[in-house]
Structure 1
Amino acid sequence: MQVNSHIDKGQFISQVRVWARELGFSQIGVHNVDLSSAEAGLKAWLSHGFHGEMAYMAAHGMKRARPAELVPGTVSVVTARMDYLPRDTPEGWQAVELARVQSTQRPREGVISLYARGRDYHKVLRSRLQKLAERMEQHLRDQVLAPVDGSGRDTAFQYRVFTDSAPVLEAELAAGSGLGWRGKHTLVLDRDAGSMFFLGEIFLNLDLPPTEPVSPHCGSCSACITVCPTQAILGPGRLDARRCISYLTIEHPGAIPEELRPLMGQRIYGCDDCQLVCPWNKYARRSTLPDFDARADMARGDLLTLLAWDEAEFLRRTEGSAIRRIGHARWRRNILVALGNALRGGTVDAEDSAAIRAALQIYADPGADPLLREHALWALAAPAASGGSEVF
């Protein structure tokens, strides 16, 4: 049932923005339920198989582009942006992070995407979106005296919150409601905040006036396309997820294609390269929340130390982290690839080479997990460092 109240909707949205900022959100927009312009692109992306093994991307058909079918009764979507750079991010952070992934000076250092170094964003955004929706509900109840059920819930006002956990075209909703534009890497970009932010939505049965989209400002820049290590960005707005390092290290469940392994470098969870070279990210904002501050193990972890975690240690160290969802085996698979690349980089000394090969040999034994064994054998096939020794 759609809410038909006599509230001042412009004033209501202004109040929602105040509540949102109190909860750590950076920007609020409103979109209607018409995403028909995105359907052709979604169909084409799926038909090319660019979603890889992310079957959930196709499982709901066009519901992704039809909010009112996904949540019946929805007539408006409140969109939200939350910045996630850690509070202690230094000036010149883009150059610092680029140096980490492009340099071979610290071959044993694992690189984790900036967004995943702190608390799981799903948990942070979902809880705060829920609080925002509850404030909206209470405000409407006070204004229009709508009836409530036995739980105290407004029976007329209905909502559902989302953040990267359901068939929702988040980037399209964000761009269409003025939170930014779709960059050539497909991420949402804002002139005042770059792209280092999370997105969330509240589907509502309350008809609210949409906010205006903004025009794109990428111009002739193609830095994100050029820098992609695996050339996963095929052209402006065309991403083949099957080649994307974020997909390979997080979503892909099996063996990583051998031809892509050397291109992953020391990246063991996600990839930020296309954002690190984006000129607009010089305006990226630090989070106001401690939730996204980097955990010590996630900022500059030693690959051999991370590999040595047994499953219990992995679960303990990743409690409350987005990293936990890939599981222990996939975590180790990614580290084995990074160690193989460390050996191939030619900058590990003989002592480190011997230590790495000894660790790899554990996973190369015939009785080891087949997935891990495949990647360990590949890593061990790297040439020995000068003065190093093979360990078999």
Structure 2
Amino acid sequence: MAERGDKLKRFIKDEARALGFSDCRIARAEDMPEAAARLRDGVARGYYGEMAWMAETLERRSSPLALWPEARSVIMLSMNYGPDEDPRPLLARRDRANISVYARNRDYHDVVKGKLKQMAGRFAARTGAEVKVFVDTAPVMEKPIAEKAGIGWQGKHTNLVSRSQGSWFFLGSIFTTEELDPDAAERDHCGSCRACLDACPTDAFPAPYRLDARRCISYLTIEHHGTIPLEFRQAMGNRIYGCDDCLAACPWNKFAKAASEMKLAAREDLKAPEIARFLAFDDAGFRSFFTGSPVKRIGRDRFVRNCLIAAGNSGLASLIAPCRALLDDESPAVRAMAVWALSRLLPADAFATLARTRKPEHDKTVLEEWSGAGETLCI
């Protein structure tokens, strides 16, 4: 029996390596009371903002067995997407848009899930066991399970950290009815370091190991609908999709195998794209450019809304004309952020003239932006 188990584990890890996964570890499918308690506390405090599914799936998310009672083992896998260089210098290039490193290639859900299905199929054929694969979209607490499996530990920024991959990797899981010997859990190696916490531009960490998503730029640019709250706009800088600051600040990244052949490389045209190009996108242009990208999921209106905030933060007169063109956009959120961007880019007298001569506006949100911008100029 032990010999069969050893052979199965070798088979699993050989398959994972062949498919391009950076690491593969195994955990028992069992209750995780500490992780479930943290999750309930975060939901109770409202840390998840508009992500209502966190509360709706709370019970199923709290344990692998709650999701699938017949599961006995969880095969956790990671895939490296580490950048070849620190992405933070791009924040200083005011004419450029900063897209989170993980979103600069094909949608990882598709990439990782495809490989998981291949691996799960081969495993099921070999063992006769039942299998289910999950990549982020199902109610699975992947990070606590991955910690139990030994892939890494949940850092103070709440993301998983690995001694060999730093903070740059995706997670996927294969649940199975097969009993497999678990790997040793990883322990926390953060120590007294708080680099990730101090790096956050919006103070989204109320305490180490706690994230208030309502203040997180990743949440605001991806999950949040409507206009971005005023208090966070300037801090967003040129971040138009996600934020890498806390990940990039992690000292463990220096041990990551960023040049490894087992990683997803970025699209060249997403490494430092021009803001002006994105401001000109209509829906068809947006969908065409981001085909196969995770960015496509937020839709053109939210994306252009984010780009307008980056334009407003740029201080560049060259972006006035494309922002002004968006005052007539069909989306109220886009029109509202165009007003804010112009209030930052135009001289006070020019903006006052624009406000007096603008077309009639009936949307409350947009009117509030016009009013708020006018009050700001008077201060």
TM-score where L is the length of structure 1: 0.85
Equivalent position to 1:253, from 210, 221, 225: 225
What does the per-residue CA deviation read over 1:185-238, in whole Å, with 9 as the maximum and x for residues that have no partner? 011111122010000001111111221112211111101111100010122101
- Asked if 1:374 corresponds to 2:371, the answer is no
CA contact (8 A) 2:82 2:165 kept: no
How far is 1:289 from its partner? 5.3
In structure 2, the residue matched to 1:100 is 90
Q: How does 1:104-119 map to 2 (within 5 A)?
A: 106-119=93-106
Tell me how far apart the structure 2 counterparts of residues 250 and 51 of structure 1 sit (CA, whole Å): 13
What does the per-residue CA deviation read over 1:25-51, in whole Å, with 9 as the maximum and x for residues that have no partner? 111111122212211111100000000
Cα RMSD for the two superposed structures: 2.0
Equivalent position to 1:136, from 106, 109, 123: 123
How far is 1:364 from its partner? 2.0
In structure 2, the residue matched to 1:145 is none
What does the per-residue CA deviation read over 1:335-369, in whole Å, with 9 as the maximum and x for residues that have no partner? 011101112xxxx3xxxx0x31111112224x642
In structure 2, the residue matched to 1:273 is 245
Equivalent position to 1:217, from 189, 212, 224: 189
5+ long unaligned stretches in structure 1 = 142-156
Q: Secondary structure at the match of 2:231?
A: coil
What does the per-residue CA deviation read over 1:223-269, in whole Å, with 9 as the maximum and x for residues that have no partner? 11111000101221010001101101111122111110110000001
How far is 1:7 from its partner? 6.8
Letter in 1 for 2:126: H
In structure 2, the residue matched to 1:8 is 4
CA contact (8 A) 1:162 1:200 kept: yes
CA contact (8 A) 2:80 2:262 kept: no
Equivalent position to 1:29, from 25, 32, 43: 25
Q: Secondary structure at the match of 2:230?
A: coil
The 3 A distance-change label for structure 1 pair 361 and 383 is: closer
Equivalent position to 1:239, from 195, 198, 211: 211
Q: How does 1:13-92 map to 2 (within 5 A)?
A: 13-32=9-28, 33-85=30-82, 89=84
Query: How many residues of Structure 1 are paired with residues of Structure 2 in the alignment?
Result: 351
Q: Secondary structure at the match of 1:239?
A: coil
The 3 A distance-change label for structure 1 pair 7 and 159 is: farther
In structure 2, the residue matched to 1:294 is 266
5+ long unaligned stretches in structure 2 = 355-379
Percent identity reads: 41
Equivalent position to 2:167, from 156, 173, 195: 195
CA contact (8 A) 1:303 1:339 kept: yes
Q: Secondary structure at the match of 1:203?
A: strand
Tell me how far apart the structure 2 counterparts of residues 206 and 159 of structure 1 sit (CA, whole Å): 9
Tell me how far apart the structure 2 counterparts of residues 197 and 255 of structure 1 sit (CA, whole Å): 30
How far is 1:113 from its partner? 0.6
Letter in 2 for 1:132: M
Letter in 2 for 1:138: A
Tell me how far apart the structure 2 counterparts of residues 118 and 187 of structure 1 sit (CA, whole Å): 20
In structure 1, the residue matched to 2:319 is 356
Letter in 1 for 2:189: H
Letter in 1 for 2:88: L
In structure 1, the residue matched to 2:148 is 176
Tell me how far apart the structure 1 counterparts of residues 172 and 62 of structure 2 sit (CA, whole Å): 16
Q: Secondary structure at the match of 1:235?
A: coil
Tell me how far apart the structure 1 counterparts of residues 10 and 167 of structure 2 sit (CA, whole Å): 24
